[in-house]
Amino acid sequence: MYGGIEKFIVHRICHSKIHSVFTEAELAFEYNTFAKLREHPEMARFIKWVRKRDPEYFDKHARMREF
């Protein structure tokens, strides 16, 4: 769905990776399902890597953006 109507809970590190790889337009029009995200080569590598981490894992080197 477009316009942020449908919402999903996504782990912070996964959310950050998604937004580091794709633009908002790409997410809205091309990679708008989890299945499509998983098919992207860079996301597939990331998923393979992150699955080996503890569910509570968070990259301590990543800085929170200040508002």
Q: What long-range pairs does 42-51 form, CB within 8 A, spacing at least 24?
A: 43/17, 43/18, 46/14, 46/17, 50/13, 50/14, 50/17
Neighbours of 31 (CB within 10 A): 19
Percent of the chain residues topping a pLDDT of 90:
46
| Average pLDDT for the chain | 82
- Residue-wise pLDDT for 1-19, tens only, equals 455 567 778 888 899 899 9
Q: Which two tokens stand for residue 63?
A: 């800085």
Is 57 a residue whose pLDDT tops 90? no
Is 67 a residue whose pLDDT tops 50? no
